[in-house]
Structure 1
Amino acid sequence: MSLKTLLAKLVLQNPKIEFDNNHEEVDEQIQNHVLAIVNGHYFQLLQSKLFSEIFFQNNDILTATQNYVSSNGEDLLTYINTLTDILKQNINSCAISEEHKKIYTLSIAILFLQFFVVANFSGPKLPFELSDKEIGFMGLLFTTTNTNTKFKFNFQTQSLDLLSISGYSPYHLSETPFFLVLSLHMFERLQGTSISLLGSEKNKLDSSFVIENSFDVNFLSEQNQGAYINASICWWRARALQVQQSILPEISSEIITLSLELLGKKTVNALIDTVNVNSKANQYLLISYYLENANISIAGDLEVQTLDFILNANKASCMSLILTGCKARMTKHQTKSTATLTVLAKSSNTLLSSEESEKSFKPQDVQLNDDLFLEKPNFDSLGDNEILKDEETNIENDFTKRIKIDYSTMNDEIPTTIDKKLIPIAVKESDIPAELNNIDPNDQPTLANLDNIQLLLRMQAIYNNTPDGNTLVNEELIAVIQRVLFSSSEYVNWLIFSRALWYRSLLETARSRTVERGVLQLYSLVEELGVTSEHTARLFPKTDDEVKFPTEFRNSTDITVALTNATRLRYIYTLPLMPKWSMDTKLAEKLMELGSLKSALEIYERLEKWTDAALCYAATGDSDKGVELVEKALQYNPNDARSWSVLGDIKSDPSLWEKAWSIGRYANAKRSLAKFYSNPPKDSNVEKNLQTAISHMFDCLSANPINFQNWYFYGCMGLEVGNYELAAEAFTRCVSLDDSNSYAWSNLASALIQLDKISEAFTALQKSVNSGDSTKKSWKIWENYLIVAVKLGKWDEVLHASIVLLNDKKDLDHSTTSIDIPIVEKIADLLTSEPFDANKRETYFQKTATDFICNMIPSVVNSDSRIWRIVAKVDFWRKKPWLALEDYEKSYRAVINNPDLTSDENVWKIAVEACQELVSAYENFGELEGRHGAGDVVCKDWKFKAKSTIRSLISKGKSSWEYTDGFEALQELKLEIMNS
């Protein structure tokens, strides 16, 4: 095969993907070395003759290692530079081409990366603690760790220090971090970078400067010979950086930015087979490229890029996918099927034929074993209209398309035929694509592994951006996961299947009927990866895979071991990377949520995550124990900015936050300082100082500019101090990060109103009322929307806002204040400004305004005289005088029933006016044609009713208001009616 093909197989980690450009032959030794990595024969490669000669058993490297060990590991970076210098000299002395020299170096860097990934992600534990003298310098390093405590501490600490970035330190018990450091260093050497990310924390270099000098854009230029080798280097370095990101507690913008730069369009183009453009291998490369970019975007919390990359992956894979409603039985004794969700998906035949299924050990799928619920739904029919009638809107809103920093260099366009949604929806059966319409939801066809990954990435993107407790979205996510777990294939990849089980467990722990299975499944997966201590009792017996692996790991002829390595690592870079301790930590978090504090603390203490354990104790009120544990963490790593910041959070001590900032520009420390000065504790003897708080938040946002909550807090302080330009800028950044947050849009509008940008404010308010969960939206947002719409004369919007406010506030004891009467009067004036024509179809405004005034308002407000007069005006306009007369009667009754009628002269005056209007209505409407139009009139005895009304009011007011102007006016009105 060609060298380009070999490197493509290396990137894909799949030896069974066939390429067509196999004309030029590659050196057999090079081919064997690369395929050994692809097939998981790591120790076989490590013990090979060439590798031993140039690296692992090289005398110069052994001498350098002995010197480093004897110095108790004082300067790790110098030692690593020495190793790579010797390696370069050894490879250069070999009688091979420059291309082959690069590939040898690349294969060594990949080997170390895979060792680190096996030890910390896929499991089980590497056996380097044995006396492995036959593996040269590695034996010296890792056997020494058992006997020399000082060397062990320095070796581990310095390795982690080199991996620290942006003030964030990796987990201190990461296994063999030296492998990752060495791998990253070798990738940087291969690319000839002028600035190393390793140790950048100590140098305190500006992040943009580090990024610009960590990757030469000309490295992949078309004129550069061997561009496919450089492309392979870029691809693998991006993977190594993502591994580094996954062991950090927070997102590093430097790593995410650089990863997306490395894995750009030029990278995949250099590996594409240009002779057979439409080959299966090219399809596999493109899909993997898009999925890995989507994975990086998820890690960096870049939702818009995630969506684009996933949709492009779907475009390349041609997978058919739809979410629809089905009738299904969920319980063992259920006779009538009920509505539920299901995902229908089908891979293209091309992609399926390019994957040769291989059987691997599956992680244990813990059964529900419930006396009521079935293990899986039993589906009946497709296309249930009821369950999906509102689903499309909810799903679209729940995936918050936050616009972060556009790191992508790609210009891919999604075809207009593809909806830009993570989960396309079929509301009814006729909406289901033809290729999916005949699928049996109980027995769906096998999906290609890459399509299963695509489903899981879609699920992860939605899960990351949906608030906890959203039942509807959780049902959707369960449907996605079930499509992976309930596949008819027996050959689902181990990692894919275990990740689907993991996601299912996270969702099931929130449901009372499945919480037990969810927690047990989490325990099972954690135990299978070997996270738990040897002295910790297991809940589940070891699988055959686990039993075999440790004892036969170094036997290169053992096929099971090779298959385990190859299977577990094949797709590990296309799915979100989860270190073993992060899984155990998530288990602890779930146990905390369930109230199992003791079990959670046991996990934290076993993992020596003292800072997390401290937060756990602090949350339960035991601050002293929390302080003790954070101080214990600082003994291990006194330069851990997060620990100093958490200690400040527990003690409310600004000096500790300042220390965290000075150590590593830890953004959360500045946020804590800002919150402290914006609302000082009562016992702190510190006065509130919003200007100081704003200054601290500015520093926080300079260090971490892609955090929504920080920008929101910054903007709120800007509003409070009257700095509306600052507030407008802050909330503009908020809505660029999360354009579904209605409160951010509303606050942006408030700032813009103060800056006299009314039109822009109205646009922001439109975004506010149309985004987010409508059930949780404050009525104050609609009130602001109403006010600005009035200012701009947008009466259609005024009417819409008035209706929403009326509906939102009618149950909140705001019966009177929920109606802005002057605005209702204006709407009525606009409505009645044109003659009513019963033969002409009403406009939308006329129909809606009439319903609002004549039906909606009276259902809420029925004791306000002014309201009934407005209703009467509209009823008379639409030629219904009998209703208008009834409205005036109700207006009058609303006043005379006021208990203050005999004690408050203002109320008396209003009653007199209402009486005059009612009498006028009797006089004007009484003789008009009545309701039935058969010769009847509106009110035949209108004179009698008018007299009775006047006499009644005179009687009520005589004792209190006999000599007032109002009383005299009634007497005159009485005479007029009697003489008419």
Structure 2
Amino acid sequence: MVLPVETVEKSLLSGRWNSQLGPETHPVLQLAKATVDGDFRTVLTSKYAKELFQIKNTQEVSVDQQPYAELFLWKLQSVDDEQERELVQLLLAVACLHTFVQVNWTGPNLEFKLSDIISFPSHHPPPISEETLCVKAIAELAYGGEPAYHLAQFPVLFRFAQVILGFPYVHCKYTPWWQLRAAIIHERLLDDPVPLPAEVLGSLAPLVETTNSDPDLAGQLLLEQGLLEHIFSHDKAAAELFVRAARATGLQYELTGALGKRTKFQQNDLSQLVLLAESRNTDNSPDKKKPANQVRSTNGVTTSRQVRLPETLPLNDDTLLEQTEFTSTATATGKAALNHLDPASQPPLHPLDQCILLSLCLNVRNTSPSHGLTSEQMSPYVARVISHPQNWSIHTMALLLRSRLEASRTRTVERSTLQLQALVDQMPTADSELSERLLYFHSIPLPSKWEMERELALRFLSIGVIKSALEIFERLEMWEEVVKCWQSMERNDKALAIVRDLLEGRKEEAESVIAKAKDLSASRRVSMDIAREAKLWCLLGDLEPDNAVEHYEHAWKLSMETSGRAMRSLGGYYFSRGKFADAVTCLRRAVAINPLIAHSWFVLGCAYMRLEDWEGGRDAFSRCVAIDDEDAESWNNLATMYLRLDAAKKSPYDRGIDKDGDRSDKAVTFSNKMLAFRALKRGLKHSYDNWRMWSNYMIVAVDVGELSEACRALTRIVEERADKVGAECVDDEVLERLVDAVTRQDDDPDRPTAGDKQGTVPDAVPNEGRGLLRRVVDLFERTILPRVSSSRIFRTYARLLTWQLRWEDALNAHLNAYRWGPAGTFERGETDVEKWREAVDEVGEIEDILANFGPRVEGFDWKHQGRSILRTFIGRSKDFEDEPEWSRLTEMLDWLRSEE
């Protein structure tokens, strides 16, 4: 019999047995059916498992030194056909992987032991205990310098899955997908995510083409790839994959508004956010998507089955409604196909589409600013999924997300905590079928049992229930959180005692207690926990600053130079004490071990800045923004690095920004200025209120000729700072350059006339002449002058008005400049002769302006205005009659009188 390998593989991926495979007469198909149905005891105790998971003769191998790949036989002696052998291997790998998921993520608890799976040589008694194999597995699961969670149950099964999936496969073409799933689970086991081997993602490319004919599989693959990017905080890449997944499955959705009520006593309907969503219509399609509570029998008839779901706790609030009551239809502005949906009665979504919506909801959280709108945007996504529960795992994830949203609201915080407690309590129960729980597990970021409990403890901590939080952390043996709890209670002595007791053996972890009861060598007992022991030494360094260097270095040596935590801590220690060269050395080691931690790159970049290593700083901050595209400070620092790279020559025309945000007179190439300009532009998207970044952006924009953007930047700076510092917020030099750019086109015959105040003549060049005029006029008249005043600002404004032939406005601007200048503010009794002489020059200047502009303004008596200005100034400066410049004032006054 030729096995339908591809059909079996698709059944494994989708979690549903394909009825087209017919009666399971072949033993391999029976094994495949048991795997899909979640009957893992049958699969893992089969003859195939006994052959594959047989330990070698322990007289020939060393248990302490041999990895799992060499400790077992890994041979299917009863299978001769290569295709059949590959399929059996894949089935066993999936069974091991999902059994590990069952016991650590979805529940319920297992009904068999590890000894039921592993077989030993018949002529030797079992020489290795289950606990020993688990300890060994945890040690091997440490990756990239990050330890795996040591209380994860049955880690041996996950190691089995990893080893089997690492075998070469020729006939099972969907194996790379299972490698991706195993990699995601491995990432969730580690304290911090670490980069995956390039071959894991590279091997998925052929599958994208293969799954195009199946909308559900294509959407599922894209969704899982997006969840991996989400783990690495690559939010932009994750968002693109989530949208592509929705497009692949045919999901239509739009966030819009509709009138409704949110509270019990609300009288008037107000606009409420609502998510309109609809799965694709496939009534006549052979691949019609069925809800999770419907199954297709072998004769093609669809039947329903009861799905037991997690408990959804009611709100029980005296004001808020359980859910928004919509009283009008919503208008789908972007998707006409959704106009027919009633917000109060939308059709059920396919569970896979619900997974996509929850993932999109995660992206809303990650790509929105940190303000109230974040939860407001997320709530409609979660509500749309909760309104039609169809799958145990999906509903659990939706309730968890709602619990997180409600944790910060006074009226919902109680339900938030109780709901999270209920979700934790349901894990070990058997209230739903295992196959149901696993069906969409890989399509949602469902936390593990310990992560769920950790979240509950953090929730207790946030509301001040420190004792309950401490009990959970101690039971989970999360010592870093235990230390933080004691520190929050200002009991550093207790935190220090716990860490020292653990390191000195007076207080032992559960795994160490188990291991010491076994026949293990002393070297094995030391080496099996080096990743966690190194982390404990780092914690001790955090608690004892005086001996921090010694503790961090000991952790580094103990881990055989694999502990990224040790180097991150030591690098931060050196940086805070000004030892930047040492900090660079440590942090370079840290990022080499785990390059996904943006903070390490940021501190490294700052250390390079202090050492004036601009290329090193550029590379470090480039990695920061590659990891977190919304890190505005890193974008700003990256721009600074570009402006410093060519700091060799000096030029009066080239200005940059130094590391403190001040201007620099060192020459910078135009290409690096453009790179700095683009970096600042990206950063300002995520730090719109940061006036320092706007100032840097303005300076660079002027240097690269982007004067329209410089005008926009100066507008933002004045809006942010005018109330605090007044006229100091205006960069007079930049303002004058903007006016220069407008007025340099004096010979243009089509330049605006006196009546064309806003520059309505079209111009294709936005950074000079008429193309820039409107922005500069708005900058003066709508932003600067209503807020601040200074003599230089008015003079610059007058020059712009003169170019526009607006003589009256220009004259008024010059008069305002005079009033704000030395002459206009000169007071009687002043004794500073230099200030008086400067004021005399200004009086002469305003008299010349009156003589030139006055005759152009109809109905304006410029001579009277000039005499008034002179008399007022002369009256205030009688004390300077003996100065030579006094005669200049009297001559101007005589000239004005003679003109009458």
Under a length normalisation based on structure 2, what TM-score does the superposition of the two structures give? 0.83
Closer/same/farther in 2, CA of residues 729 and 112 from structure 1, 3 Å limit: closer
- Residue 662 of structure 2 is aligned to residue 677 of structure 1: no
Show the counterpart of 1:818: 729
Tell me the secondary structure at the aligned position of residue 477 of structure 1: helix
The 1-side partners of 2:67 and 2:849 are apart by 101
Deviations 1:413-433 (A, max 9, x none): xxxxxxxxxxxxxxxx46231
Task: Decide whether the 8 Å contact of 1:824 with 1:853 is kept in 2.
Answer: no
- Residue 198 of structure 2 is aligned to residue 260 of structure 1: no
Task: Decide whether the 8 Å contact of 1:873 with 1:884 is kept in 2.
Answer: yes
Which 10-residue stretch deviates more, 707-716 or 513-522?
707-716
Task: Decide whether the 8 Å contact of 1:889 with 1:918 is kept in 2.
Answer: yes
Deviation at 1:323, TM superposition (A): 1.5
Q: Following superposition of structure 1 onto structure 2, how do residues 269-668 of structure 1 map, counting pairs within 5 Å?
A: 278=213, 282-350=214-282, 353-355=288-290, 357-358=292-293, 359-381=306-328, 429=331, 431-464=333-366, 466=368, 469-487=370-388, 492-530=390-428, 546=429, 549=430, 564-634=433-503, 635-636=508-509, 637-640=529-532, 641-652=534-545, 653-662=548-557, 663=559, 665-668=562-565
Closer/same/farther in 2, CA of residues 899 and 381 from structure 1, 3 Å limit: farther
Task: Decide whether the 8 Å contact of 1:678 with 1:690 is kept in 2.
Answer: yes
Task: Decide whether the 8 Å contact of 1:769 with 1:782 is kept in 2.
Answer: no
Q: Following superposition of structure 1 onto structure 2, how do residues 201-220 of structure 1 map, counting pairs within 5 Å?
A: 219=169
Show the counterpart of 2:300: none
Task: Decide whether the 8 Å contact of 1:854 with 1:871 is kept in 2.
Answer: no
One-letter identity of the residue aligned with 1:366: L
Per chain length, whose mean CA-contact separation is higher, i.e. which structure has more relative contact order (CA < 8 Å, sep 6+)? Answer: 1
Task: Decide whether the 8 Å contact of 1:950 with 1:970 is kept in 2.
Answer: yes
Deviation at 1:124, TM superposition (A): 2.2
- Residue 34 of structure 2 is aligned to residue 36 of structure 1: yes
State the 4+ residue runs in structure 1 displaced beyond 6 angstroms.
Answer: none
Deviation at 1:180, TM superposition (A): 1.7
The 1-side partners of 2:616 and 2:86 are apart by 52
The 1-side partners of 2:881 and 2:181 are apart by 93
Deviation at 1:235, TM superposition (A): 3.1
One-letter identity of the residue aligned with 1:35: K
Closer/same/farther in 2, CA of residues 866 and 153 from structure 1, 3 Å limit: same
Closer/same/farther in 2, CA of residues 616 and 893 from structure 1, 3 Å limit: same
The 2-side partners of 1:55 and 1:780 are apart by 64
Structure 2 unaligned spans of 5+: 294-305, 510-528, 647-667, 762-769
Q: Following superposition of structure 1 onto structure 2, how do residues 142-291 of structure 1 map, counting pairs within 5 Å?
A: 154-188=132-166, 190-191=167-168, 219=169, 224=170, 227=171, 229=172, 231-254=173-196, 257-262=198-203, 264-267=204-207, 278=213, 282-291=214-223
Deviation at 1:744, TM superposition (A): 2.2
Deviation at 1:29, TM superposition (A): 2.0
The 2-side partners of 1:816 and 1:900 are apart by 25
Deviation at 1:299, TM superposition (A): 2.4
Q: Following superposition of structure 1 onto structure 2, how do residues 920-931 of structure 1 map, counting pairs within 5 Å?
A: 920-930=848-858
The 2-side partners of 1:621 and 1:773 are apart by 40
Task: Decide whether the 8 Å contact of 1:76 with 1:155 is kept in 2.
Answer: no
The 2-side partners of 1:321 and 1:430 are apart by 9
Show the counterpart of 1:958: 878
- Residue 860 of structure 2 is aligned to residue 938 of structure 1: yes
The 2-side partners of 1:928 and 1:601 are apart by 83
Show the counterpart of 2:718: 806
- Which residue of the other structure, out of 891, 897, 908, is the alignment partner of 2:817? 891
The 1-side partners of 2:485 and 2:628 are apart by 30
Task: Decide whether the 8 Å contact of 1:84 with 1:186 is kept in 2.
Answer: no
The 1-side partners of 2:245 and 2:565 are apart by 35
Deviations 1:49-98 (A, max 9, x none): x4687579xxx87x97xx89xx9x9827759568741x62xx3245x633
The 2-side partners of 1:900 and 1:733 are apart by 62
One-letter identity of the residue aligned with 1:296: L
The 2-side partners of 1:665 and 1:376 are apart by 51
Tell me the secondary structure at the aligned position of residue 938 of structure 1: coil
The 2-side partners of 1:430 and 1:239 are apart by 36
Deviations 1:187-241 (A, max 9, x none): 33x33xxxxxxxxxxxxxxxxxxxxxxxxxxx4xxxx4xx2x2x34433343233
Task: Decide whether the 8 Å contact of 1:746 with 1:765 is kept in 2.
Answer: no
Closer/same/farther in 2, CA of residues 344 and 965 from structure 1, 3 Å limit: farther
- Which residue of the other structure, out of 879, 889, 897, is the alignment partner of 1:970? 889
- Residue 32 of structure 2 is aligned to residue 92 of structure 1: no
The 2-side partners of 1:595 and 1:268 are apart by 48
Show the counterpart of 1:865: 791
The 1-side partners of 2:896 and 2:208 are apart by 94
Tell me the secondary structure at the aligned position of residue 342 of structure 2: coil
One-letter identity of the residue aligned with 1:14: R
The 1-side partners of 2:92 and 2:869 are apart by 102
One-letter identity of the residue aligned with 1:903: T
Tell me the secondary structure at the aligned position of residue 725 of structure 2: coil
Tell me the secondary structure at the aligned position of residue 376 of structure 1: strand
Deviation at 1:967, TM superposition (A): 2.8
One-letter identity of the residue aligned with 1:475: E
One-letter identity of the residue aligned with 1:479: P
Closer/same/farther in 2, CA of residues 597 and 436 from structure 1, 3 Å limit: same
Aligned residues: 811
The 2-side partners of 1:235 and 1:841 are apart by 60
The 1-side partners of 2:885 and 2:271 are apart by 66
The 2-side partners of 1:463 and 1:632 are apart by 40
Closer/same/farther in 2, CA of residues 306 and 876 from structure 1, 3 Å limit: closer
Deviation at 1:505, TM superposition (A): 0.9
Deviation at 1:509, TM superposition (A): 0.7
Task: Decide whether the 8 Å contact of 2:643 with 2:676 is kept in 1.
Answer: no
Tell me the secondary structure at the aligned position of residue 349 of structure 1: coil
The 1-side partners of 2:247 and 2:642 are apart by 41
The 1-side partners of 2:40 and 2:814 are apart by 92
The 1-side partners of 2:208 and 2:630 are apart by 34
Show the counterpart of 1:841: 760
Identity over the aligned pairs, expressed in percent? Answer: 25
Closer/same/farther in 2, CA of residues 164 and 625 from structure 1, 3 Å limit: same
Closer/same/farther in 2, CA of residues 900 and 159 from structure 1, 3 Å limit: farther
Closer/same/farther in 2, CA of residues 965 and 695 from structure 1, 3 Å limit: farther
Which 10-residue stretch deviates more, 874-883 or 325-334?
874-883
Closer/same/farther in 2, CA of residues 794 and 968 from structure 1, 3 Å limit: farther
Deviation at 1:138, TM superposition (A): 8.2
RMSD: 3.3
Tell me the secondary structure at the aligned position of residue 817 of structure 1: helix
- Residue 631 of structure 2 is aligned to residue 730 of structure 1: no
Deviations 1:682-733 (A, max 9, x none): xxxxxx3211111112112211223322222222222222111212222222
Closer/same/farther in 2, CA of residues 826 and 570 from structure 1, 3 Å limit: closer
Under a length normalisation based on structure 1, what TM-score does the superposition of the two structures give? 0.76
Closer/same/farther in 2, CA of residues 309 and 621 from structure 1, 3 Å limit: same
Closer/same/farther in 2, CA of residues 33 and 962 from structure 1, 3 Å limit: same
Task: Decide whether the 8 Å contact of 2:309 with 2:392 is kept in 1.
Answer: yes
Deviations 1:815-849 (A, max 9, x none): 12212223323333443443542367244421222
